[in-house]
Amino acid sequence: MRAPAGAPAQERTLPMTEVLRTTIDVAAVRDRFSALKGDFAFLDAPGGSQVPDEVGDAIARTLREASANMGAVYATSQRIGRILAEAEQNAATFLGCDPAEVMFGANMTSLNFTLSRTAGRGFQPGDEILVSSLDHDGGVAPWLELAHDKDLVVRHIELNPDTTLDLDDLRSKLGPRTKVVAFAWASNAVGTVVDARRVCDLAHEAGALAWIDAVHYAAHEPIDVRAVGADVLLCSPYKFCGPHLGMACGRAELMETWRPYKARPAPTSPLGRRFATGTHPYELLAGFNAAMDYLASIGGIAAVAPYERSLGQRFLDGISDAVTVYGLPGMEGRVPTFLVNVEGVPAEEVASKLADAQIGVWAHDSWYSLNLYKRLGYADKSVRIGFIHYNTTDEVDRLIAALEATRGS
């Protein structure tokens, strides 16, 4: 659907209600990122955020001063142990779970393959998995592959025309054979947010596990896994200024019933560590700890979320009706991620012209959300734009003007 119609961006004066107020000092934040020193505007946060210098410094320092493995009595090994314990505590604070429920992996998709295989050991032929039509394939493919191996049934929960999850369709598909309801809390493509508490409740009423892909949501809104009722939740720190890792938490009472895929001498406690399939990337965990310290120093995700939503609203208020925004037309029910096309200009050309204007966005076809792609209605590709807390109002305004300029150049 199109964003609200209006005058071309360069002729529009934003109302006073769009003057941004934030508790964070954006200029001071940007000074902590070498990547943000120049004129290039990184508006591609959905593909991965930029990283503050202290994160890279922590990774390098660990490689210099704590390149070891767990279990030895000497100092570098003990440092590694402290890094892992701190990472588990930081993840638990970020997600709202117990440190023993935290698991790390190479990335969300790899971790999801591991955990879905573990959960599925006891599934029987004909058992059903429900996945959302809003989902990134990292939240779908693990279940499809498990279904192929074990003769399970995977069914998709449909969407309403505005890209919100169709809860009536979910209710109709839940049944006695449903084992898992897996869904993305927020779409990596169009930014639509799902009522996770409601979906988890419906899953549990049917006796199924509630399994959340929070990769995109975690970068923009605070998480409390207990409050939402998830059995398993996964995310990726590289979406919120950390290194490339996968991170998950699982409900302890559930994980205690699972037999993990692991090397036999590997640790069996704390609980979450038994699901590690090999040596942890300790240097990246040190970078993760630095990223958590960075976020805490600016007030955490809860502090930056209103500012990010304001950036999104500024964008929506500023674009002309030549820019089609897919999905929800306003900031209600979404995070500041937008899939757009410019009338008469191919998406790849838009991305290329924006790059020439020192603005970074992507053009792609499916955005790895294969079932959503079928429903959006654009013929080839679209442009994805995503704001995060280090972006500025000036960058949003530059983007609006550059989008409009692509039509006449």
333 and 250 inside one domain: no
The reported pLDDT for the residue numbered 262 is: 87
**Count of CB atoms situated within 10 Å of the CB of 285:** 28
Please state, in angstroms and rounded to a whole number, the distance separating the CA atoms of residues 305 and 308: 5
Side-chain half-sphere exposure of 147, counting CA atoms within 13 A: 18
Whether residue 171 is contained in a domain is answered as: yes
* CA 168 from centroid of its chain's CA atoms: 25
What is the band of 268 on the pLDDT scale with cuts at 50, 70, 90?
confident
84 and 155 inside one domain: yes
120 and 196 inside one domain: yes
92 and 200 inside one domain: yes
Please state, in angstroms and rounded to a whole number, the distance separating the CA atoms of residues 183 and 165: 10
**How do residues 269-315 score in pLDDT, each as one tens digit?**
899 999 998 899 999 999 999 999 999 999 999 999 999 999 999 99
Considering only residues 268 and 100, tell me which one the structure prediction assigns the higher pLDDT: 100
**How do residues 127-186 score in pLDDT, each as one tens digit?**
999 999 999 999 999 999 999 999 999 999 999 999 999 999 999 999 999 999 999 999
**pLDDT at residue 395 is higher than 70:** yes
What is the band of 409 on the pLDDT scale with cuts at 50, 70, 90?
low
**pLDDT at residue 31 is higher than 80:** yes
Whether residue 41 is contained in a domain is answered as: no
Of 248, 277, 296, which closes a domain? 296
**pLDDT at residue 9 is higher than 80:** no
Please state, in angstroms and rounded to a whole number, the distance separating the CA atoms of residues 63 and 143: 36
287 and 185 inside one domain: yes
**pLDDT at residue 3 is higher than 70:** no
Please state, in angstroms and rounded to a whole number, the distance separating the CA atoms of residues 41 and 37: 10
261 and 339 inside one domain: no
Whether residue 334 is contained in a domain is answered as: yes
142 and 277 inside one domain: yes
Three-state SS for 248?
strand
The reported pLDDT for the residue numbered 188 is: 97
**How do residues 193-228 score in pLDDT, each as one tens digit?**
999 999 999 999 999 999 999 999 999 999 999 999
Average pLDDT over residues 229-256: 98
The two three-digit tokens of residue 80, written as one number: 């590694």
**This prediction's pTM:** 0.93
**How do residues 357-368 score in pLDDT, each as one tens digit?**
999 999 999 999
